[in-house]
Amino acid sequence: MDGFAWAAALLPGPLRQAAEALDRSERAVCEELRLRRGREATALLAGREYGLGTYPVTERDLRAVLEAATGASFHASAQQLRRGFLSAPGGVRVGVCGTAVWGQSGMESLREISSLALRVPRAVPGCADGIWTALTAGGFASTLIVSPPGGGKTTLLREIVRRLSRQGVRVAVADERGEIADAWSGEPAFDVGPCTDVLTGAPKAQGLEFLLRAMNPQVLAADELGGQADMEAALWAARSGVHVLATAHGQRGLDISGPCRKLLEAGVFRRRVWIEARQGVRRYTVEDLA
Question: What does the pLDDT look like over 35-62, one tens digit per residue?
Answer: 999 999 999 998 899 999 999 999 999 9
Same domain, yes or no: 149 and 283 = yes
Residue 227 scores a pLDDT above 90? no
For 152-196, how does the pLDDT look when each residue is reduced to its tens digit (9 = 90+)? 999 999 999 999 999 999 999 999 888 899 877 678 888 999 999
pLDDT in tens, 10-42: 999 999 999 999 999 999 989 999 999 999 999
**CA–CA separation, 18 and 216 (whole Å):** 47
In this structure, the number of other CB atoms found within 10 A of the CB of residue 236 comes to 15
Q: Is residue 261 exposed (0-12), middle (13-18) or buried (19+ Cβ within 10 Å)?
A: middle
Question: Are 69 and 22 in a shared domain?
Answer: yes
Helices marked H in the chain: 3-9, 13-20, 24-29, 59-69, 78-81, 132-136, 153-166, 204-214, 228-239, 259-265
User: What CATH number did the domain enclosing 263 receive?
Assistant: 3.40.50.300
- Please check whether residue 49 lies inside any domain of the structure: yes
User: Are 167 and 242 in the same domain?
Assistant: yes
Highest mean pLDDT among 57-61, 147-151, 258-262: 57-61
CA-to-CA distance for 288 and 108, rounded, in angstroms? 41
Distance of CA 180 to the CA centre of its chain: 6
Domains held by the chain: number: 2
Q: Is residue 190 part of a domain?
A: yes
Question: What does the pLDDT read at residue 75?
Answer: 58
204 inside domain: yes
Judge if 113 and 135 occupy the same domain: no
Query: Same structural domain for residues 140 and 256?
Result: yes
For residue 131, what are the contacts with CB-CB under 8 A and spacing of at least 6?
A: 273, 284, 285, 286
The pTM (predicted TM-score) of the whole model is 0.83
Q: Is residue 124 part of a domain?
A: no
Residues 17 and 41 in one domain: yes
Specify whether 156 is located in the same domain as 192: yes
Whether residues 284 and 160 fall in one domain: yes
For position 112, which CATH number holds?
Answer: 3.30.450.90
pLDDT digits (tens, 9 = 90+) for 66-118: 989 887 565 556 666 766 788 888 888 899 998 888 777 666 667 789 999 99
Apex CA 276: angle with CA 191 and CA 232, to 5°?
65
The verdict on 151 and 280 lying in the same domain is: yes
Strand-pairing partners, residue 221, are: 173, 245
Last residue in a domain, options 119, 141, 159: 119
| Burial tier of 10 (Cβ tally within 10 Å: 0-12, 13-18, 19+) | buried
274 assigned to some structural domain: yes
Domain finish residue from 119, 141, 162 = 119
Number of CB atoms found within 10 A of residue 119's CB: 24
**Domain match, 114 and 147 both:** no
Answer whether residue 29 is part of any domain. yes
Residue 27 covered by a domain: yes
In a domain, 25, yes or no: yes
Question: Are both 177 and 230 inside the same structural domain?
Answer: yes
Provide the domain limits for residue 268.
129-288
Are 248 and 144 in a shared domain? yes
Domain boundary among the residues 90, 119, 148 is at 119
